[in-house]
Every structure is written in structure tokens, then in C-alpha cells.
Structure 1
Amino acid sequence: MAESHYTDPRLVALYDALNPFSADTRFYLDLAARTDPTHVVDIGCGTGLLGCELARLGHRVTGVDPSPAMLDVARRRPGGDQVEWIEGDAAQLGAKSADLAVMTGHVAQVFLDDASFDAVLSAARAALRPGGRLAFESRNPSVSPWAAWTPELSRRVIDDPRYGAVEIWQQLIEVRQERVRFDTHYHFLRDADTVVASSELRFHTQAMLSGALTKAGFSGLEWFGDWSRSPIDHASRELIVVARRD
């Protein structure tokens, strides 16, 4: 079942305020700029922030996402008419001969078992030309990022022009092996209404990611621990990888 983050209209409307243009967006824009002209495939494109910016910069862009509500936002975004939007999963891409495929926003972590993760990597490979690159990030389990997913540490308030002030916090539910379950609470202060969205993520180690990419037919893996391209160390919050399609 799709998470309400991506289906509830109110939560979809808040998505961009909670996930604005930031250092991760710039990282992927810079990566695309290294090949010109570039066809970029955005897997799990969401509301299209990155895809539309890539199109504005002159790249050919295909975005795929299973959420019609998110794609509705993407299509209405400035530049949205320049992007090919596909509703569905990565398998819907087929052979695209793309130069670059990306999975941003920690999309790689929503695939909870080996079979589903292998499938998305296989679909990404099929969408790329030989020598094309796949890039994505995953939170580093070594630093236990879920430790901050408590009401006390995660609480914040945003002001939305449609819904007014919204108080948001997370509540950790369970950590079991490499999977983490948590709830995100959205309290709409004006309406005194609260929506609770449940999530489950898989936390891959660097070795797990490397093994899956090699199995899927990728090589030449480049690793970074942050958006400034620093090497991975014990304190790195991100596992960012750029891999070449064999």
C-alpha cells in the first residue's frame, strides 16, 4: 500500500516545503552537467523539483513515479511540460538509452527486500546506454540516523499558504535488522486535525549496496559521504554512489 505521504493531498502539498532545493539537488544537477547533451531518467521523481530544473537547463528528462498525486504537482510545476512523465515503477521505463539515471530523496531505501531492490537496479540498467551512469544515495546506518526520529528531536513547524501552520514530528516504532519503522505526525493547527503517516525504510550498508550494484551489472563505483563529495568515513551521514553501466 502506498504511503500517505504520497497519496494524501494535504501531505503531497507539503512535500516541497519539507524537501526544498538543497545541496543534494545541486549535486545531481552538477552530475548531469558533466555530460552534454544529457538524457536523464529520474526514478521516483516525486513532485518533479529536480526533473523540471534539469529540463530548464536543457537536458532531456524522463520522470517516473507510482504516485498520481505527486505527478500532478510535477506536471503543474514551471517546466513540467518539457518533461516526459510516466506513472508507474521503474520497469515502465523500458529501454531509454539514457546517459544518467538518478534516484534522489533516499528512494533507494523504500525497497525493503533484495528482490525489489534488484528489480529497480535492473530497470535502471535497462534504461541506460552502455557507459551510462546511475547515481543515488542512502542514509548511512553506521550513524543510526533513526535515533533522532523522536518527537523531542524532530519536532518543527512549517507555514503553508493553503493549510496554515503545521506541526510535524516523527516517532520511531521499531528497528529490526536493517529495517526501520516510524510514524510521521502532521498536526494542522488551524483545523486541529492530525494525520499520521507510517513508513518503513531499509538501511543498506556500503557493502550491501556495492554487492547489489555489481550483481546488477554496474562497475566503476564512486563513493561520497556528503554532498560536497567528501570520502565516506565513520561519521558520514550519507552513502552516495555513482556507478557505470557495463
Structure 2
Amino acid sequence: MPDPLFADPRLAVVYDAFEDPHRPDLDPYAARALRPGVRRVLDVGCGTGVLAARLAAAGLDVVGADPAAASLAVARARSTDVTWLHVAASDLPALDVDLAVMTGNVAQVFLSDDDLRAALAGVARAVRPGGRFVLEARRPAARAWESWLPVEEHRDVPGVGRVDRAFALLDVDPPFVTFRQTYCVTGEVVDSDSTLRFWELEEVEDALTGAGFSVESVGQAPDRPGLEHVVDAVR
């Protein structure tokens, strides 16, 4: 079940207002998708569709998949050039894509070994033999949560008005970290609690191998050195 931040229409429509509009974290994935030989791309956990729409605008055949209907509604309004699928990663159909990507915190939302393995098996089903899968996973050793300080901020969102947001860390029990985001949208207060799992690289590699992928390289996110593993695998 997706968190309210993605599943509640009141929150999904304001999500992007609190993100960096330039999204430098997506640049390496866009560059990877624009390499020769890539024609069809799958964005797993596409959310509000920022990356998928960007790739479609560049001329690629793009599928964006997400289990949160509210986020997909925002994505559909963003682009009509993407095939949007309301589906969990574990239930992905055969799509014959050349490249699948899993960006942001998507890998962290799978909290059990079985959940991760099921999700990666779904991705493997969607990728053609010889196709590639690139995903990022936070490095537990970086202990990023230690820098997650309480935040209170607001944005003026077109079509919505002023939106207030507060962030608070609730619990740290490695590898699990739980936090709360509280939004005030047109006078309504809505909480969204999220738990992320910080996977060890070896756990991610084992799950990929079990799903039928071969890990070819492990790098890091250039805009977040030392914080992320970026894993490039081939089916």
C-alpha cells in the first residue's frame, strides 16, 4: 500500500512543489536512457512522472509504472506521450523494454526480503533478455538519517494555494527508518508516515541475481557522493 504522500490526491498534487525543480538526481538516468540502442524504457515507481515525461519528450518509447493512483493522475496530466501503468513492481507484465530504472527511494520502500525479491522479479519480467536495469539504493553506512532535522516550510502551489509542510524523524531501528510528513492543504491537516529500509549492497546484489540479473557495475550518484549505490545490471 503506497504511503498517503503518494496515494492521497490532496498530497500527490502538491508533492513536486517541495522537490528541487531541476532534479539533478535524475540527470544520470536520463543520460543512461539516451545511449545508443535504448528505444523503450520503463520507469519503475515513476511517481508523478517527472523522469518518464522527460524521456518521452526526448523521443523514447516510455512506460511509467506506479502503484499509487493519485501520483499517476498527476503524471497523466504531465504527459500524454507515456504509457502509464497502475501496477506494483511485483505485478509488472512482460514489456520487452531495453532499460528499466528505479530512482529515488523506490528500492527502500520494499521492507522485507520477499518484497524486494518479488519487485525485482517483476522488473526482470518487463525487461527483454540482454536489457538493462539501473537502480539506486541508499548506503546504510552513510547513516543519512542523522542529518534529517525537523523542518517546517511552505509553498504557494498554483491551483491549490499555500501549503505548509513539517518533517519529523519518528524512529530509527536500522535497517528501518520511519518519519512523518505533515501537510496543511487548504485548511486540512494530513499526516503521511513512511518507513524506508536501508539495504546492504550485498542484499541488493543477491536479490538481483535471484531475479535473473547479472550485476555489471556499482557506482554512486554523482550529485550525492558517498550516499548512494547505483547498480547497473543486465538480464
Q: What TM-score, normalized by structure 2, do the two folds share?
A: 0.91
Distance in 1, Cα, partners of 2:29 & 2:190: 32
Q: 2:167 aligns with which of 170, 180, 185?
A: 170
Distance in 2, Cα, partners of 1:140 & 1:163: 36
Instruction: Give 1:35 deviation, angstroms.
Output: 3.1
- Partner in structure 1 of residue 138 of structure 2: 139
- Partner in structure 1 of residue 156 of structure 2: 159
SS in structure 1 at match of 2:13: helix
Distance in 1, Cα, partners of 2:63 & 2:136: 19
Q: Give unmatched runs, 5+ long, in structure 2.
A: none
**What are the within-5 Å matches in structure 2 for residues 198-217 of structure 1?**
198-217=193-212
- Partner in structure 1 of residue 7 of structure 2: 7
**Which residue identity does 1:244 align to in structure 2?**
V
RMSD of aligned Cα (Å): 2.0
Distance in 2, Cα, partners of 1:2 & 1:216: 23
Distance in 1, Cα, partners of 2:39 & 2:227: 29
Distance in 2, Cα, partners of 1:244 & 1:123: 14
**Which residue identity does 2:163 align to in structure 1?**
V
**Alpha-carbon spacing, 1:53–1:215, altered in 2? closer, same or farther (3 Å):** same
- Partner in structure 2 of residue 111 of structure 1: 110
SS in structure 2 at match of 1:74: helix
Identity over aligned pairs, percent: 39
Q: Deviations over 1:163-210 (max 9, x none)?
A: 43333232111122311111112245x73x432210011101222212
SS in structure 2 at match of 1:131: strand
- Partner in structure 2 of residue 34 of structure 1: 35
Tell me, yes or no, if the aligned pair for 2:110 and 2:197 is still in contact at 8 Å.
yes
**Which residue identity does 1:6 align to in structure 2?**
F
SS in structure 1 at match of 2:80: helix
Tell me, yes or no, if the aligned pair for 2:138 and 2:228 is still in contact at 8 Å.
yes
- Partner in structure 2 of residue 196 of structure 1: 191
Distance in 1, Cα, partners of 2:171 & 2:18: 23
- Partner in structure 1 of residue 86 of structure 2: 87
Instruction: Give 1:134 deviation, angstroms.
Output: 0.7
Q: What TM-score, normalized by structure 1, do the two folds share?
A: 0.87
Q: 1:182 aligns with which of 179, 183, 199?
A: 179
Tell me, yes or no, if the aligned pair for 1:225 and 1:239 is still in contact at 8 Å.
yes
Distance in 1, Cα, partners of 2:27 & 2:159: 28
Is 1:100 aligned with 2:99? yes
Higher mean displacement: 47-56 or 89-98: 89-98
Higher mean displacement: 110-119 or 179-188: 179-188
Q: Give unmatched runs, 5+ long, in structure 1.
A: none
Instruction: Give 1:213 deviation, angstroms.
Output: 1.5
**Alpha-carbon spacing, 1:150–1:94, altered in 2? closer, same or farther (3 Å):** same
**Which residue identity does 1:42 align to in structure 2?**
D
Q: Deviations over 1:130-168 (max 9, x none)?
A: 2211111122211211123331xx333322223433332
Distance in 1, Cα, partners of 2:220 & 2:71: 29
SS in structure 2 at match of 1:69: helix
Instruction: Give 1:112 deviation, angstroms.
Output: 0.4
SS in structure 2 at match of 1:82: coil
Distance in 2, Cα, partners of 1:35 & 1:239: 24
- Partner in structure 2 of residue 65 of structure 1: 66
Tell me, yes or no, if the aligned pair for 2:208 and 2:215 is still in contact at 8 Å.
no
